[in-house]
Each structure stands twice: as structure tokens, then as C-alpha cells.
């Protein structure tokens, strides 16, 4: 006999929170039916970094509102379009706008696109975000290559993999000590050096919080002591789901503002500054990402034209 708790979970809660394998498959098939190439690289544009999507050639774009099961973008600086095309000849799909916990979406919903990427054939995911700099050596405009993360919502039990596990996506207990691909981190530094960007390239630890309020001074001090170099409200949930289903992950943070660590400071974090820093670094980030994409090797490179 079904208990009251099971009944509530099955009939009221779970359907709101999760997508079955079949629902993910249906979304991916809907997209593939309108496409004659399969993307190998999936790119997520952070706040103010949507220009990355404009680099794609031979674009086919979908508004999120037209894609079955997709949430809508509600944040300024996140256009809400899924753009397919090629970048330096490599088939890519690009999310021009991501979803965040603070928009009120369940964590499984904001990470749904990662599973769609996987089912579309994506092998490598490149995530970008805007973040506040906690590391005192960082300057606004620096680009931090993620080597690791601190998952604060995860500490509180809000993990996108919570709930029943579907082995068709991945294992129950995925490893996260290798979440950020080391070869891709090195590639970013190599490409960055060739482009003359070494002065503003860093490597560090990103900490995700729920947002939408920016951090207090005490919170910034605490996060810094805990080992975080930058703080934001995204990316980590997507990384966990992408790694769970076996995609390679690379992530970078544009340091759009200095996190306020000092009670004497007059600075106040604000979204306008975040978007403005994105505009100032857009071109260099586009060059960095597109040159990386050109150099990433994929298992299915030889199959590109078969779909
Ligand atoms: O992480 P992305 O999507 O780049 O956005 C960052 O910028 C917004 C705050 O200005 C927050 O959403 C934060 O997470």
C-alpha cells in the first residue's frame, strides 16, 4: 500500500522536479529532427557573455519558449535562445542564457539542458559565468579557469542528482575530484598565451551560492577562508549533471567585480557592473573559446558529416 509520503512525492512533488529519460529524449529528438548536424561541443553563456553564441556560423536558433520542456530565461543578460552552428568548422550548440536556482526553478530543471546536450551527441561542455573575485590578487576583467568548486547548495542537500538515479544517464555516486578536465585547463592556458592573454588568465576555485542577493562582507570573508577564489550563482549544478552523464567539462569565470571584503569599502556589487565587464572582455573571451574549440579533439570527429 502506498504511504502518504510516497503518494505526495509521486503525485505532487516529483513530477514538478524531474524529467524522465524519455522526456529528455523527446526534447533532444525534437531538436534533432530540425537539424542536420550533431553538435560535439556545448557552450553555456554566462551573464553578459551571450555574444559567444553570435560567433557560430550557419546558425539555426530556437527560442527556449518553443522547445518542449525547456524553462524560460528570466534574467537580464540571458537572451533565452539555443543556437546551433559551427565554430571554426566544429559543430556546436550554445545556450544564450542559462537558468539559476534563484529564478525559482527546481535544480533538476535548471540542469536539464546538460542532459539534452548529452543526448544530442555533445562530448565537451564549455561553461562560462560572471563571478565576484574573492582572491585578493584578482582584478576585474581577469578570467579564472576553474580547477575545482565549492557547492554550497549541495552541502544543504540541494544537489541536481538527488532523487532516484537513472543509470542510463550515469552512476548513483559520480566522482567529482576530476570534474574539470585538466587537459582542457592546459589548453586554455596554451591558447591564452598564444593570444597574449596570460596577464589576465588565472586558475582557481569557484563557489556557488543560491543568490539572488549578493554576499555580505562576512560571507565573502568566510568563502575566501574556505578556499574560494571567486563566487557566483551558477555553473556548479550544470557541471555535476554534465559529469554524471560522462561529458568532459571546461569552465571559466569572468571576474566582473571585486567581492567586498572590507567594511571601509564604498563598493556595492550590482548586476549592471557585471554586464558591463562582460561587454569589455567579450571579444577576448570569444577568441579564447573559439580557438579552444578548434583544438579540442573528439571521439566522433570523423562522424561529423554522417548525421
Ligand atoms: O553565473 P552567471 O549566469 O554568469 O550570472 C552571474 O551574474 C548574476 C549576478 O550579476 C548571477 O546570476 C551570477 O550567477
Ligand 1 touching residue 256 (CB < 6 A): no
Tell whether 11 is in a known binding site: no
Ligand 1 touching residue 86 (CB < 6 A): no
Alpha helices in the chain (DSSP H): 4-8, 14-17, 21-32, 51-54, 107-110, 112-120, 152-155, 182-195, 217-225, 236-244, 271-295
**Is 239 within the bounds of a domain?**
yes
The range of the structural domain enclosing residue 159 comes to: 17-296
Distance (Å) from CA 303 to ligand 1 centroid: 35
Q: Is the pLDDT of residue 8 over 60?
A: no
Give, for ligand 1, the residue of 104, 110, 232 to mutate: max count of ligand atoms closer than 8 Å to Cβ. 232
For range 220-230, the mean pLDDT: 98
**Is 4 within the bounds of a domain?**
no
Q: Is the pLDDT of residue 261 over 50?
A: yes
Say if the ipTM goes beyond 0.95: yes
**Residue nearest ligand 1's atom 12 by CA:** 233
**pTM assigned to the model:** 0.93
**Is 10 within the bounds of a domain?**
no
State the CB neighbour count (10 A cutoff) for residue 182.
9
Query: What is the DSSP secondary-structure string of 237-291?
Result: HHHHHHHHTT-EEEEEEEEEEEPP--TT------HHHHHHHHHHHHHHHHHHHHH
Residue of 62 and 74 predicted with greater confidence: 62
Domains contained in the chain, number: 1
Nearest-10 Cα torsion for 60, 104, 17, 109: 20
Q: Is the pLDDT of residue 226 over 90?
A: yes
pLDDT at 15: 46
pLDDT at 146: 98
Dist CA 221 CA 225 (whole Å):
6
Residue 79's pLDDT band (cuts 50, 70, 90): confident
Dist CA 249 CA 180 (whole Å):
5
For range 35-51, the mean pLDDT: 92
Beta bridge partners of 67: none
**Is 8 within the bounds of a domain?**
no
**Is 11 within the bounds of a domain?**
no
Answer yes or no: are the C-beta atoms of 285 and 80 closer than 8 Å. Answer: no
pLDDT at 243: 98
**Is 185 within the bounds of a domain?**
yes
**Distance of CA 300 to CAs 41, 59, 94, 188, 200, Å?**
11, 21, 19, 22, 33
**Is 27 within the bounds of a domain?**
yes
Q: Angle at which helices 271-295 and 182-195 pack, to 10 degrees?
A: 100
Half-sphere exposure (Cβ direction) of 6: Cα atoms closer than 13 Å: 3
Distance (Å) from CA 7 to ligand 1 centroid: 37
CATH number for position 228: 3.40.50.1580
Tell whether 250 is in a known binding site: no
Answer yes or no: are the C-beta atoms of 147 and 180 closer than 8 Å. Answer: yes
Ligand 1 touching residue 48 (CB < 6 A): no
Distance (Å) from CA 129 to ligand 1 centroid: 6
**Is 153 within the bounds of a domain?**
yes
Residue 298's pLDDT band (cuts 50, 70, 90): confident
Dist CA 171 CA 299 (whole Å):
22
pLDDT at 37: 82
Dist CA 288 CA 193 (whole Å):
10
**Residue nearest ligand 1's atom 10 by CA:** 271
- Render pLDDT for 130-173 as a digit per residue (tens, 0 to 9): 999 999 999 999 999 999 999 999 999 999 999 999 999 999 99
Tell whether 78 is in a known binding site: yes
Q: Is the pLDDT of residue 1 over 90?
A: no
- Render pLDDT for 177-188 as a digit per residue (tens, 0 to 9): 999 999 999 999
pLDDT at 5: 55
- As annotated, the active-site residues are 47, 78, 100, 102-103, 130, 233-234, 257, 271
Residue 302's pLDDT band (cuts 50, 70, 90): low
Beta bridge partners of 231: 132, 207
Answer yes or no: are the C-beta atoms of 293 and 126 closer than 8 Å. Answer: yes
Q: Is 9 exposed, middle or buried (0-12, 13-18, 19+ CB in 10 A)?
A: middle
Q: Is the pLDDT of residue 202 over 50?
A: yes
Amino acid at each position: 500500500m502506498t504511504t502518504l509520503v510516497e503518494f505526495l512525492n509521486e503525485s505532487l512533488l516529483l513530477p514538478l522536479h524531474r524529467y524522465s529519460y524519455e522526456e529528455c529524449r523527446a526534447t533532444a529528438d525534437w531538436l534533432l529532427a530540425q537539424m542536420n548536424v550533431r553538435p560535439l561541443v556545448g557552450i553555456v553563456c554566462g551573464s553578459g557573455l551571450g555574444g559567444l553564441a553570435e560567433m557560430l556560423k550557419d546558425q539555426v536558433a530556437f527560442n527556449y519558449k518553443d522547445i518542449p520542456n525547456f524553462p524560460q530565461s528570466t534574467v537580464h543578460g540571458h537572451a533565452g535562445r539555443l543556437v546551433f552552428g559551427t565554430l571554426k568548422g566544429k559543430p556546436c550548440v550554445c545556450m544564450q542564457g542559462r537558468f539559476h536556482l534563484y529564478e525559482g526553478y527546481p535544480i533538476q530543471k535548471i540542469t536539464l539542458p546538460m542532459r539534452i546536450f548529452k543526448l544530442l551527441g555533445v562530448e565537451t561542455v564549455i561553461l562560462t559565468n560572471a563571478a565576484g573575485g574573492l582572491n585578493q590578487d584578482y582584478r576585474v576583467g581577469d578570467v579564472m579557469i576553474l580547477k575545482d568548486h565549492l557547492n554550497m547548495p549541495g552541502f544543504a542537500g540541494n544537489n541536481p542528482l538527488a532523487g532516484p538515479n537513472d543509470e542510463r544517464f550515469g552512476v548513483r555516486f559520480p566522482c567529482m575530484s576530476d570534474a574539470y578536465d585538466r587537459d582542457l585547463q592546459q589548453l586554455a592556458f596554451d591558447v591564452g598565451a598564444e593570444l597574449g592573454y596570460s596577464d589576465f588568465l588565472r586558475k582557481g576555485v569557484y563557489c556557488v551560492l543560491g543568490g539572488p542577493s549578493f554576499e555580505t562582507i562576512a560571507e565573502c570573508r568566510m568563502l575566501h577562508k574556505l578556499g574560494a577564489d571567486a563566487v557566483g550563482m551558477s555553473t556548479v549544478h550544470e557541471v555535476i549533471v554534465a559529469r554524471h552523464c560522462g561529458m568532459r567539462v571546461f569552465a571559466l569565470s569572468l571576474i566582473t567585480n571585486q567581492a567586498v571584503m572590507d567594511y571601509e569599502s564604498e563598493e556595492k556589487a550590482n548586476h549592471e557592473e557585471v554586464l558591463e565587464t562582460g561587454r569589455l572582455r567579450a571579444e577576448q573571451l570569444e577568441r579564447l573559446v573559439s580557438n579552444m574549440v578548434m583544438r579540442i579533439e573528439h571521439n566522433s570527429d570523423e562522424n561529423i558529416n554522417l548525421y
